[in-house]
Amino acid sequence: MFARQNHARAGADILTGIRRRLLAAPPWQPLLFATAAVLAAAVALPQSALGAVAAPGVAFTKLTLLNGWGTYPFGSATPAIANISGVVYFKGAISTSSTSTNDVAFVMPPGFRPSKYVNVPVDMCNATMGELNIAPSGVTQVISAGANTDATCFTSLDGVSFALSPKSFTALKLQPGWTEFGSLYR
C-alpha cells in the first residue's frame, strides 16, 4: 500500500512540474508541446487508423513489381491492392535503384484497372509529393514532383485509393471557360 501511495504521489509531482513549466513558458511553447504529443500519438497508431485498409476478411492481391522496383526494405508492408465496394485500396511501399530511369513499377491486374487514366497522389523521400499514373491497361508509372531519386528511394502506397467507376459521383458543373481535361482522364 505504501508503494502505491508513493507511486501516485510521484505521478502527481510530475504533472505539477509539467503544469508549472507550461504556465511559465512563452505562449507558443504549449502549442509546440501539444503538436509534438499529437504527432507522437499518430506514430503509435496502427496502419488501419492512418488510412491503410486493414479490415478483417479483406483479401489483398500482391502486386508484381517490374523493372527493378521492389518492396521498400525497412519495415513496410508488401505492396498489394484490394477492391472494396468499387474502390481500389493500396498498401505497402516501393523503391528501386537511384540509377533506375524506368518509372513503370507494376501493371495492375484485371478487375483493379480504371476505365480511364487516373492520377493519385503519393508520398516520397524527402517529403516530396508525387503521383501514380494508372492507365486503363493497368500500367502504373511512379512520377515525382521533385527529383527522380525521391521516387526511387521511397514511394508509399499506404492510404492511396481510387474509385473504379465515376458513376457513383456527381459531376461538377464547370464555370465558364473551364473544360474537362481531355477524354482520356476522368
C-alpha cell recorded at residue 71: 518492396
What are the residues facing 144 on neighbouring strands? Answer: 130
CATH 2.60.40.1830 matches 48-165? yes
| pLDDT for 94 | 97
User: What do you get for the CA distance between the two ends of the chain, in Å?
Assistant: 68
| pLDDT for 26 | 61
The per-residue pLDDT for range 9-39, each reduced to its tens digit, is 544 555 555 556 656 666 555 555 555 444 4
Question: Domain extents for the chain?
Answer: 2-44, 48-165
When mean pLDDT is compared across 70-79, 88-97, 162-171, the lowest value belongs to 162-171
pTM: 0.65
Among candidates 139, 147, 65, which has minimal Cα distance to 98? Answer: 147
Give the separation between CA 78 and CA 120, rounded to whole angstroms.
Answer: 19
The per-residue pLDDT for range 154-174, each reduced to its tens digit, is 999 999 999 988 776 777 888
Q: Indicate whether 1 pLDDT > 60.
A: no
The strand order across the sheet containing 161-163 reads 61-62, 80-84, 87-91, 161-163
Say which residues have a Cβ less than 8 Å from residue 184's Cβ, sequence separation at least 6.
Answer: 116, 117
When mean pLDDT is compared across 13-22, 126-135, 143-152, the lowest value belongs to 13-22
**Exposed e or buried b per residue across 25-39, where buried means at least 16 C-beta atoms within 10 angstroms of its C-beta:** eeeeeeeeeeeeeee
Q: Do residues 19 and 30 lie in contact, with contact meaning Cβ atoms separated by under 8 Å?
A: no
Which of 183 and 77 is assigned the larger pLDDT? Answer: 77
